[in-house]
Amino acid sequence: MPYRAAVNEYLFMIDNLLDADALRETARFEEASADVTTAILEEAGKLCDEKLAPLQREGDLHPARLENGVVRTSPGFAEGFQTIAEGGWLGMSASPVHGGMGLPLILSSAVNEMMSGACLSLQLAPLMSQGQIEALEHHASDMIKDLFLPKLISGEWTGTMNLTEPQAGSDVGALKSKAVDNGDGTYAVSGQKIFITWGDHDVAENICHLVLARLPDAPAGTKGISLFLVPKFVPNEDGSLGPRNGVTTVSLEHKMGLHGSPTAVMQYDDATGWIVGPEQGGMAAMFTMMNNARLGVGGQGVGVAEAAYQHALAYALERKQGRAGPDGTASIAEHADVHRMLATMKADVFAARSIGLSCAYAIDMAAATGDPAWRARAALLTPIAKAFGTDTGVAVAEMALQVQGGMGFIEETGAAQFSRDVRVTTIYEGTNGIQAMDLVARKMMDGGEAAGLLFDEMEEDIERARPDFPNMADAVWQACESLREATEWIVAQGNMNDRFAGAVPYLRAFARVLGAQLHLKAAMADKGGAREKLARFYILRLLPEHAGLLIHAQAGEADLFAVTTADLAN
């Protein structure tokens, strides 16, 4: 079935769930008017529906391949990427100083999610470039900015992120890659990196790698790591391509899904690079890109969920089976369990999408106002948006396959591809378990202050809904109070394993309650409409999950580690 980008959903959320006027009143985003917002999202929707969605199956059936040291991408991918680049979509939120549009992240996040639903394998390329652009804007020297940013923003060059090494995994501090000062402002970078998304390809003329490496005599662990920009071709001062650098693609990974996205093993042999940020400041600089990517990956989960839902709904409406009432054969969409799955998918997509958009809005307000409260809000919501967005992607893709029964298990229908493609998003940019640990540890270093302020605002919204929807408002209020109490318990635990043992259920409970409040807000804007009905379904049937999750979240480590590793192996 044809994919349709969720343009109207985003327009509704921006108008009714966010204080868009407050954002547009800032000097930074005063040009992002309602008319501009509508025009951009509608144009992006056409791009996704007409140009990118047809590439979805091509990437799966005709994977990227490495031939004689050259990576060949899937049919149509080069043209698709050029369409994205020529439309200026890579630089939507980049600074106008180097050719970007300077638009709010809420818009670029919406566009990225729609592109992900159309063709996730291809969308990964612009996402990596956008993250690198932001990292360079914040941390690079003026020379690097002037030379590299215009090319990255235009799409003439693309960007990657090189963290992981064979022996290190998520323990970035165990990396062995090294860099030696050449004495001329450049460094010789050597080492091997794995799982590099779009590490090599044929859709742009140059590829710029952000590589974590260690300088001689630097201390062990993450504190001794520096960040280097290492291009495939060393550019001349005027931006033209110079000699081939000491960068080699060793192999491409054979993956469960995302076959159209070339995931490379990269080898660096005395490759010329420039340091980004101060010596031994690599993690701070790289985290700028990682946080950008975490929100983006959460949006990828939502995008695939939307596409999988549309695919399942179309099948369910067309498939006739069984009897329902006196009128004879009905579509399976009328069967209670299938109807339950479809409603669950739609309700969870709305919740995950609105949480991600709320996170992007907090980032925008922090950038526009410099208010530390907005920065804290953005930091708090980032792991929730990433984890819940991708968990939703996996769950919805699985339900979509279930709706289609045996046909969903047949590869030709395309249903299984959504499940295979989205599965890695819960691993990308820090597994969802790492996101949950970050939430209960680093994001609670303020004693839960940022979370408490969010709960206060949520309860103010709930009170406004109480006259119209007393039962729903009461359910969400009670859930919010339970979440507040659980947060206070977590903050009080000095033993971090007591926090970590329940971190994943805590994050999910947080997302469940936040999703309920946002659904309730949507119901207020659409009284008697489809969104009120969907909110009622979510609050009455899905929100109650939070209670069991919070019991788990506050159970501590004792019973968990009472089951020893020997017991597990027995």
Cα separations (Å) of 415 from 310, 313, 420? Answer: 11, 12, 9
Q: Can you tell me the distance from the alpha carbon of 240 to that of 403, in angstroms, rounded to the nearest whole number?
A: 53
Q: Which amino acid is at 465?
A: A
Per-residue model confidence as pLDDT tens digits over 168-199: 666 666 788 999 999 999 999 999 999 999 99
Counting other chains too, the contacts that 9-13 makes at CB distance below 8 Å and 24 or more residues apart are 9/350, 9/353, 10/41, 10/110, 10/114, 10/353, 10/357, 11/37, 11/38, 11/41, 12/522, 12/525, 12/531, 13/353, 13/354, 13/357, 13/522
110 and 180 co-located in one domain: no
119 and 175 co-located in one domain: no
Q: Can you tell me the distance from the alpha carbon of 325 to that of 336, in angstroms, rounded to the nearest whole number?
A: 13
Q: Last residue of some domain: 240, 256, 284?
A: 284
124 and 177 co-located in one domain: no
Q: What is the CATH number of the domain that holds 261?
A: 2.40.110.20
In a domain, 28, yes or no: yes
Strand pairing of 70-72 and 65-67? antiparallel
559 and 435 co-located in one domain: yes
68 and 190 co-located in one domain: no
208 Ramachandran zone, left/alpha/beta (phi>0; psi -120 to 50): beta
In a domain, 269, yes or no: yes
In a domain, 536, yes or no: yes
CA atoms within 13 A on the CB side of 118: 29
pTM here is 0.95
In a domain, 310, yes or no: no
- Low-confidence spans in the chain with pLDDT less than 70: 1, 168-173, 323-328
In a domain, 483, yes or no: yes
Q: Can you tell me the distance from the alpha carbon of 124 to that of 61, in angstroms, rounded to the nearest whole number?
A: 18
- Residue 212 tokens, joined: 């974590």
Nearest to 32 by CA among 104, 105, 109: 104
Asked whether the beta carbons of 202 and 71 are under 8 A apart, the reply is yes
Which pLDDT value is given to residue 326? 53
In a domain, 290, yes or no: no
Q: Last residue of some domain: 83, 110, 142?
A: 142
Strand pairing of 206-214 and 157-162? parallel
Question: Cβ contacts of residue 245 below 8 Å, gap of 6+?
Answer: 230, 231, 232, 233, 234, 271, 272
- Residue 466 tokens, joined: 């109480």
450 and 564 co-located in one domain: yes
Residue 439's domain comprises 431-570
Q: Can you tell me the distance from the alpha carbon of 358 to that of 204, in angstroms, rounded to the nearest whole number?
A: 33
Which are the catalytic amino acids?
429
Number of structural domains the chain divides into: 3
Q: Last residue of some domain: 97, 115, 142?
A: 142
In a domain, 243, yes or no: yes
Q: Count how many residues are written for the chain.
A: 570
Q: Can you tell me the distance from the alpha carbon of 501 to that of 369, in angstroms, rounded to the nearest whole number?
A: 37
200 and 92 co-located in one domain: no
Report angle CA 474, 348, 128 to the nearest 5 degrees.
130
189 and 267 co-located in one domain: yes
Which pLDDT value is given to residue 321? 85
- Give alpha helix (H) positions in 409-493: 415-422, 432-440, 449-465, 470-492
Which pLDDT value is given to residue 1? 58
Tell me the sheet residues that pair with 70.
Answer: 67
Q: What is the CATH number of the domain that holds 74?
A: 1.10.540.10
88 Ramachandran zone, left/alpha/beta (phi>0; psi -120 to 50): left
Helix (H) or strand (E) holding 66: strand 65-67
Q: Can you tell me the distance from the alpha carbon of 27 to that of 21, in angstroms, rounded to the nearest whole number?
A: 12
Evaluated on CA atoms 134, 137, 139, 141, the torsion sign reads positive
447 and 534 co-located in one domain: yes
Q: How far is CA 212 from the centre of its chain?
A: 22
SS3 32: coil
543 and 461 co-located in one domain: yes
In a domain, 407, yes or no: no
491 and 524 co-located in one domain: yes
Torsion of CA 485, 491, 492, 493, to 10 degrees: 120
Q: Can you tell me the distance from the alpha carbon of 142 to that of 150, in angstroms, rounded to the nearest whole number?
A: 12
- Residue 145 tokens, joined: 């900015």
66 and 193 co-located in one domain: no
Counting other chains too, the contacts that 318-321 makes at CB distance below 8 Å and 24 or more residues apart are 319/404
